[in-house]
Structure 1
């Protein structure tokens, strides 16, 4: 019996040594990989500013005096260090949308808010997963994202698929009535989000007569990174089929061809298009509200109109411009991007 116990203890001891060896080896490999990786440092400075969209002036905050914020682009495995410097009149935080930053940047650290005239450097983290991601303010996000505090965070894969050209587009939506004071709830209030009446793609307001032009040569393979930082579901429809290769940074297991895509808030997609023929082809944009949401908005709108009529005051009535366009099932589309293909390879 004594011999059996002794052998058992010996086996357990060997097992502990084995796992200790594995853990040590993993830590050494991780340390070596970090030491050999390239360190990329970025500073984001927040300032008060103003932009004009469709004739409405919006008070915004900017990262490094740009709207949207500057694109952060690194390679998978790079070590990333980011400093947030607050030169604005309000407090701000920083959230890394879709990135693996824990435990290097803890949840508590992402909840740190930087007061005016202060700065904070976040813990180093290894860039990943590869794909299209975002960074944005983490303080009062409903308003601060509505006021422009966001940017693209691109992590290039070690085996990045080859493309001849790449374009990054961030879509958002804004409420002119709330900013002008016509809606008493104010910009960023939940009651105004579904009533947003201006769509932007990067810094440009979508008006139907000013689409962004992507130039390419016949035969080129074009990669588009699309992200929705707004509050509404944005639908993109194209004249030809495209292939969705990634969703939220992850490869699609079975990519398939399609000609339209609805991008819900916070979602990111990578799509690939081949410039098959010379000429111009259009990407159309529309708001694709789910039927259930439309019905709830209709009930809410009718209730508010009745309340306003009862008080003989319609100044606080809340209407949904996008929803009104969709009540009959007709989706109003506007050109948002033009693919201009010339010549050949």
Structure 2
């Protein structure tokens, strides 16, 4: 299922077929919908520059971070001999990392040099509604235009930014970047680095493959996995040091089941920042849009390489047939660290949310009911159709599809309980804009530790219950599946938060 990467590219696949929604032949229809899960190509470990570019702060004020981003096409080197035409921020993939402190004002000027309109959504950052980058509240930034986003960052953590218009294509083309906000109580580590996990679907010429309707059911999965825009990079770790890994899943649809050569990991943070205390784990499942932070002590011998992998995970519709994938290598090298920092036993206090004043239920649903042309012509009119008629899926909350999706109304300062009932045959990563939540029941189990989140996996045919505090920022807020093909095809709604 995996292959060595040579000079040529092929898109090998596991082909799956659906007839109707059950996989059984229908007496009323001979139309068969097929979709592919690409084989991931193996790449030899690659040394060289690895870390994300840090954005230049053009404002000298101590508590202001001012950044200029230009969304533009660029040629990006992914590995030796592999250069891909992509859309980027400032010509790099992933885009520049914006670094700030809690309480800073962040001001980002976005210049649009793309061939189409775009926006920026600040995933996980609690910003005013007008700054959230969604087309219901912000007019898309046209070709040649610019827009200034400005907001105060209230929470420490690892967040990211990406478009929220035609996001299934624009994100896949490379428009992703990170924003790291540090607090006063950050644990001391030897290194503190961001790892953006992503994948690309390349054609036989080594360029981005066409966007097609057939990719929509499972979401577009790539045949090349990249970390910080590089294929199988080597990351140096000083011997004896305590190293912090901030992971971001920026992929359209791929789930990353992270593990390190049979070793345990120590998780210290989730979507919403630090946990209450470190948690020893064997692996961590990172769904699209989700973030997590772990620390690792470099106790290997000088020159030894450890392999980070993504294990097999079946999220439905045959995705479990794909084997594990190599992500990157960590290599113990350099000068040994004397008196390395220790992992603190306590990180912070997370107060449990109180009883909710209202309970809502969201039924996650899918259907293969629409006929459309291949080549993406059936989806909001972009891309060029192949002329082949295929079954195009739709996705919904409570039977309603965006833009006529489910609409809730809530009150500031109140606690709500949301029951996410996944009626479909596959997992869906649920993301809520503007607010953070706590999971109280996950597929029939109570979470073993408290955490703030904005993205959570809801397993197929299972239910997840969460509580959300509408603590700030009135306005309209999106919630959606973060398999971007699903969100763009209907699995999106909004919450209208008003003053109490």
Compared CA separation, residues 178 and 116, structure 1 to 2 (3 A): farther
Matched, 1:337 2:329: yes
TM-score, normalised to structure 1, is 0.70
1:232–1:289 Cα contact (<8 Å) kept: no
User: Which residue in the other structure is 1:12 paired with?
Assistant: none
User: Which residue in the other structure is 1:269 paired with?
Assistant: 292
5 Å-filtered alignment, 1:237-276, equals 237-239=259-261, 240-276=263-299
* CA distance in structure 1 between the partners assigned to 2:214 and 2:98 by the alignment: 26
User: Which residue in the other structure is 1:284 paired with?
Assistant: 308
* CA distance in structure 2 between the partners assigned to 1:184 and 1:38 by the alignment: 44
* CA distance in structure 1 between the partners assigned to 2:95 and 2:273 by the alignment: 23
Matched, 1:202 2:228: yes
Compared CA separation, residues 104 and 74, structure 1 to 2 (3 A): farther
The one of 231, 234, 242 equivalent to 1:221 is: 242
User: Which residue in the other structure is 1:21 paired with?
Assistant: none
User: Which residue in the other structure is 1:142 paired with?
Assistant: 168
* CA distance in structure 1 between the partners assigned to 2:208 and 2:194 by the alignment: 34
User: Which residue in the other structure is 2:254 paired with?
Assistant: 232
* CA distance in structure 1 between the partners assigned to 2:101 and 2:277 by the alignment: 25
* CA distance in structure 2 between the partners assigned to 1:40 and 1:71 by the alignment: 12
Q: How far off is 1:144 after superposition? A: 0.5
TM-score, normalised to structure 2, is 0.50
- More moved, 132-141 vs 280-289: 280-289
Which of the two has greater strand per residue?
2
2:129–2:137 Cα contact (<8 Å) kept: no
Consecutive unaligned residues of structure 1, counting only runs of 5 or more, are 1-35, 298-322
Matched, 1:119 2:142: no
Q: How far off is 1:202 after superposition? A: 0.7
* CA distance in structure 2 between the partners assigned to 1:93 and 1:243 by the alignment: 36
1:232–1:287 Cα contact (<8 Å) kept: no
Consecutive unaligned residues of structure 2, counting only runs of 5 or more, are 1-60, 339-500
Compared CA separation, residues 276 and 102, structure 1 to 2 (3 A): same
* CA distance in structure 2 between the partners assigned to 1:151 and 1:203 by the alignment: 11
SS at match of 1:255: strand
Deviations 1:282-321 (A, max 9, x none): 132235332x51xx24xxxxxxxxxxxxxxxxxxxxxxxx
Matched, 1:154 2:180: yes
* CA distance in structure 1 between the partners assigned to 2:244 and 2:121 by the alignment: 26
Compared CA separation, residues 166 and 102, structure 1 to 2 (3 A): same
* CA distance in structure 1 between the partners assigned to 2:283 and 2:211 by the alignment: 34
2:124–2:159 Cα contact (<8 Å) kept: yes
SS at match of 1:70: coil
The one of 15, 36, 45 equivalent to 2:70 is: 45
Matched, 1:190 2:182: no
Q: How far off is 1:70 after superposition? A: 0.5
**Bigger radius of gyration:** 1
Q: How far off is 1:57 after superposition? A: 5.4
Deviations 1:161-192 (A, max 9, x none): 11111121101111124987997654995257
SS at match of 1:90: coil
